Amino acid sequence: MVKHLHKALLVLFFLFVASSASAEVTVQCAGVTSDAEKTRLILETTTSVAHQVFTLEAPDRVVIDITQARLIGELPQATTRDRTLVGLRSGVRNEADLRIVVDLKQAVRVKSFFTAGADVQHQRLIIDLIPKGNNARNSADSRRRGKVRSAIIAIDAGHGGQDPGAIGSTGVREKDVTLAIASKLARLVNSEPGMRALMIRNDDSFIGLQERVLMARQHHADLFISIHADAFDNTDAHGSSVYTLSIGEASSDAAMSLAQRENSVDKNNGVDIAASNDLLATVISDMTQSATIEHSSEVAKTVIFYLAKVSNLHKTEVQRAEFVVLKSLDVPSLLVETAFISNADEERRLTNANYQFRLAQAILFGIRAYLKKNPPQGLQVNAQLSADSQ
């Protein structure tokens, strides 16, 4: 009897140990602090946890993977005063593990260690983010000397050359409208402190979709804005829309159809689609793409806000579809459908220089608001970068 009881107790003991080992750990962010040398992320856990911390580039991020854990509470928002953080986000990995991603303004070295928590039942996982090759003195000296870079805004006038794009009822061609708006936007961008425009095409030339993406990446663009003028069978359709990339399911059938039409441009003009897809495979990374899409969505929302002051909106929310021209690994990208060229009233307005300017100005205000909140690495946010009013 005693022998059987002993065995039963041993079984219960091992079951308890196994259960404890696989028990879910709760993680809560106890705060983020910054000083001249580092930014510190403090995570409070119910026990010491198995974790992995690693960095990624283009864009710079720190990834924290914690085994068998879940986040409780919210992650704090980064402030514009923090010279390291863009933001923090979390997700579930392998169905049971917690992943926290820290988006950065610059590359960092990482240190992680445990300290005692608020009580004996808790531990604190400390993550220190130390800017690489930079200290407070160098940073301050650099700003005093004015050695800061401008944000590079890639401006892509849709279509061009043998590809006219959509054509209105009176013969207005999309490629001409988009170039006119893009040129006005470039002049506005170049007049802004801390910004510089990169025109993907300056004239009536054809450039393949993948080549447009590569041009932006090769010039280290901070944002990519593709400008278009939509067309639809229903000539009553009107208003502006803003699109970002979706890997997989589109936000609507209409968004999917639009992406398919835009993506057919290369095939219709003799571009080697297979070679483009091979190239794309070398620059697409699910995790990096996810971070880029998040930033794309943020700038798209600000652009929609200001477009609404200029024209009617066809869609009030950011739309998503798998546009080839938006498939950049590390450049937040959006496609702006300024109006419907198939609508007679909007076709007429799209040829008006003042209306083109107002559309370009609305896009600029959206860009400016985004950059003020999310300044790229090395960019000094000038006080004039204010989007409080038009």
Residues 168 and 71 in one domain: no
The identity of residue 95, as a single letter, is E
Q: Rounded distance, CA 101 to CA 293, Å?
A: 14
Kindly state whether residue 28 falls inside one of the protein's structural domains.
yes
Kindly state whether residue 141 falls inside one of the protein's structural domains.
no
Kindly state whether residue 294 falls inside one of the protein's structural domains.
yes
Which residue segment(s) compose the domain that 291 sits in?
Answer: 151-373
Residues 106 and 201 in one domain: no
Kindly state whether residue 146 falls inside one of the protein's structural domains.
no
Q: What does the pLDDT profile of the chain (390 residues) look like in tens digits?
A: 544 444 444 444 444 334 444 457 899 998 898 888 889 999 998 877 788 888 887 678 898 988 889 999 888 887 766 778 888 888 888 888 899 989 888 888 888 888 876 666 778 888 999 888 654 444 444 443 444 678 999 999 999 999 999 999 999 999 999 999 999 999 999 999 889 999 999 999 999 888 898 889 888 899 999 999 989 989 999 999 999 988 777 878 888 888 888 877 756 665 544 444 444 444 444 444 566 788 899 999 999 999 999 999 999 999 998 888 888 767 899 999 999 999 999 999 999 999 999 999 999 999 999 998 887 765 654 434 544 434
DSSP states along 72-122: -S-PPPPPTT-SSEEEEEEEEETTTEEEEEEEESS-EEEEEEEEE-SSTT-
Number of domains in the chain: 2
Residues 214 and 268 in one domain: yes
What number of other Cβ atoms are within 10 A of residue 211's Cβ? Answer: 16
Residue 98 is part of a domain; what is its CATH number?
A: 2.60.40.3500
What number of other Cβ atoms are within 10 A of residue 20's Cβ? Answer: 9
Q: Tell me the HSE value of 85 on the side-chain side, using a 13 A CA sphere.
A: 24
Q: What is the DSSP-derived secondary structure letter of residue 303?
A: H
Kindly state whether residue 171 falls inside one of the protein's structural domains.
yes
Residues 265 and 360 in one domain: yes
Kindly state whether residue 280 falls inside one of the protein's structural domains.
yes
Residues 177 and 126 in one domain: no
Kindly state whether residue 173 falls inside one of the protein's structural domains.
yes
Which of 96, 130, 164 finishes a domain? 130
Residues 35 and 112 in one domain: yes
Residues 86 and 213 in one domain: no
Residues 87 and 37 in one domain: yes
Kindly state whether residue 247 falls inside one of the protein's structural domains.
yes
